[in-house]
Amino acid sequence: MTNNKNKQRVEKLFVGMEPLVASKPPNITPALEDSESAQTTQSMPIPDEMEALRLRVRELEAQLAEKESKPYATPLLYEKEEVGFAYSGNEIKPVRGDQFEAQNEADIVKTPLTSSGQIIGEVQVAQSPEHPITSDDIQLANAVAQQVSLQIENLRLLAAAERARAEAEDATHQFTYQNWANFLDAIHNSERIGYAYDQAAVEAFNDPAPSSYDHEEIMRVLDQQIGKLFVKGNGALTAEDKALINAIAKQAGQQVENIRLLADASRARAEAEDATRRLTRQNWENYAQQEDAATGFVYDSLKVSPLATETITSVIDLEQPLIVRGEPIGRLSISGLPNVSDEAKEIAAAIARQTSIHLETLRLTEELQRRAQELKELDRLKSAFLANMSHELRTPLNSILGFSDVILEGLDGPLTPNMSNDLRLIQKNGQHLLHLINDVLDMAKIESGRMNLHPERFKVHELLDEVTSITSTLASEKNTALFIAEDSDREVEIYADSTRIRQVMLNLANNAIKFTANGKISLRASKISGGRVLISVKDTGVGIPQDHLEAIFLEFTQVDTSTTRKAGGTGLGLPISRRLIEMHGGRLWAESAGVEGEGSTFYMELPIEARITDVIERQEK
């Protein structure tokens, strides 16, 4: 209905325009009429413009008709309405909400239609006097309602998919049309582009259509019209010829689209090359403006001197530009060679090319070194900031903890149970904060190379015994057994910093307790070949995934990074421990199958005689 109205309006418009074209415009003097007729002869006549407009309207009508005839055009319901069907005898009739005849509720069985847990309708079964409804009929109605609900949902999803596909195809058509519009605008031609081929020459053709032709084919790209192919065959075209012309039109359309894409790619590449040249020019200008930057050198077969300290001869026999990414950055000039051969020119050109590459490499190397130095300075400032802030935070925190100890001991007077409980919470959280600050301070000292070690000779078993006594209370709270293995070597001694080794062992033991509940943790020390000692901490906790066995030794890294993780910490304990062990000339690693209950084992390998002095000297250098 809408198409017929539009067609009638178009025909009425052209019928109204034809008398206007045939008649002369009113209120125009003869002199003006003569001058305007002269101008009209220079431009396209009005009837030709009307014919071009009529052709364009027909093209649009054909595209609209083709679009509406496609099977994916799914009707849309823009307003909510009730739709139903009544089955009686052998007939199915559509029923609207206002057309439904009310029945006696006692004679009707109602079964809801549901979709995604929501009621979308219902099935009503009315009994007849000849056949009362039985329980089997009710079960059948429920089964039918379930199948109908599934079918309705499938139809809805199918309609939504068809609409989405139609919208995607329409967006593709719009994208193709916009790309062609941008392409025509980029080549400064917003009108038609055409060519006429007559088996002898190819000439430009800018008319909407030839005056006479025997066959017409539309060239398309992604169902979007981009042009037409007109063939003049003197009335002798057969069906095979028309099929061949159709195939040629398809291939021509695809070839034209390929040419457009190639032009877009070439234009993008030209813009990228221009940006690269501009960036290269700016970099070399900045480099040349640096203080004390030598921009030229003179080579006289004996020495190489800066350009500013040498006298340059005015006679230049050969010059070659130095080019980097299409941008000239200098030149290679040769004097004292009056008769330049072709071979010498080729050698000079090759030297210029290699010199350009070498100069650019040197400039990039200097820039990288400068950036690396800046990063080192930033890292040093960061470490110094962390060390200073850690000292500034630790001083008042130690005062808080000291005064809380004094008050808890009752030196300032008696305390109530609530006051004592609050002070113990302050002391507990203060100790935790002090531990975090100490970790940050240790990491800053290690990174800056200012960690001092004080080696001494001690028994490893005594250190393990001290670690178990310190952490046993925490292990008891987790219902975990912490012990030294029976086969542990109780006589082995090492020469190392006992304070730092104790710090590492306490960190490993606390980690094992943190991730082990209702299990056991064993400590073991043994001598191995090569004058070394192997210390292990084995637990039966949750374990560590094998792909995280190295990541846990990175700063601020933890296995569980979710917001619901139960274990706290800064992620600095293991990195600090590994650094401290490496400063002793040893190594620290972990092994685990990643299976809960099998746990993990941390191994610490140390030399019996640690070479701490050599390590400190290397760090100072």
Q: Select the more confidently predicted residue: 300 or 104.
A: 300
Closest C-alpha among 522, 527, 494, 526 to residue 601: 522
pLDDT tier, 525 (very low <50, low <70, confident <90, very high otherwise): very high
**Helices then strands, each counted (H, E), the chain:** 11, 19
Q: How many whole angstroms separate alpha carbon 216 and alpha carbon 353?
A: 56
Span 269-287, average pLDDT: 83
pLDDT tier, 38 (very low <50, low <70, confident <90, very high otherwise): very low
Instruction: Give yes or no for residue 156 having a pLDDT over 80.
Output: yes
pLDDT, residue 588, reads: 93
Instruction: Give yes or no for residue 312 having a pLDDT over 70.
Output: no
pLDDT, residue 460, reads: 92
pLDDT, residue 152, reads: 84
pLDDT tier, 493 (very low <50, low <70, confident <90, very high otherwise): very high
Instruction: Give yes or no for residue 101 having a pLDDT over 70.
Output: no
pLDDT tier, 320 (very low <50, low <70, confident <90, very high otherwise): confident
- What are φ and ψ of residue 448, in 5° steps? -85, -5
Instruction: Give yes or no for residue 104 having a pLDDT over 80.
Output: no
Span 498-526, average pLDDT: 91
DSSP string, 569-621: --S-HHHHHHHHHHHTT-EEEEEE---TTT-EEEEEEEESB--HHHHHHHHH-
Give the best-scoring range by mean pLDDT among 28-32, 88-92, 318-322, 503-507: 503-507
Q: How many whole angstroms separate alpha carbon 333 and alpha carbon 316?
A: 6
Q: Provide the b/e sequence for 470-484 (b: ≥16 CB within 10 Å).
A: ebbeebeebebebeb
pLDDT, residue 63, reads: 65
pLDDT, residue 536, reads: 94
Instruction: Give yes or no for residue 558 having a pLDDT over 80.
Output: no
pLDDT tier, 612 (very low <50, low <70, confident <90, very high otherwise): low
Locate tokens 């359309």: which residue? 253
pLDDT, residue 431, reads: 81
Instruction: Give yes or no for residue 282 having a pLDDT over 90.
Output: no
Of 124-128, 138-142, 597-601, the one with minimum mean pLDDT is 124-128
Instruction: Give yes or no for residue 153 having a pLDDT over 70.
Output: yes
pLDDT, residue 72, reads: 43
Residues 294, 359 contacting (CB under 8 angstroms): no
Whole-number average pLDDT of the chain: 77
- The answer to pTM > 0.75 is no
Q: How many whole angstroms separate alpha carbon 84 and alpha carbon 534?
A: 82
CA 145, 147, 148, 149 torsion-angle sign: positive
Report the SS3 class of residue 428: helix
What CATH code is assigned to 452-620?
Answer: 3.30.565.10
Give the best-scoring range by mean pLDDT among 197-201, 404-408, 604-608, 617-621: 604-608
Q: How many whole angstroms separate alpha carbon 163 and alpha carbon 169?
A: 10
Span 182-210, average pLDDT: 70
pLDDT, residue 34, reads: 44
Closest C-alpha among 568, 494, 594 to residue 535: 494
**Sequence-ordered list of residues with C-beta below 8 angstroms from that of 29, at least 6 positions apart, any chain:** none
CA Rg value for the chain:
45
Span 303-324, average pLDDT: 75
For the chain, what are the domain ranges? 2-57, 308-450, 452-620
- Which amino acid is it at 588? L
Instruction: Give yes or no for residue 55 having a pLDDT over 90.
Output: no
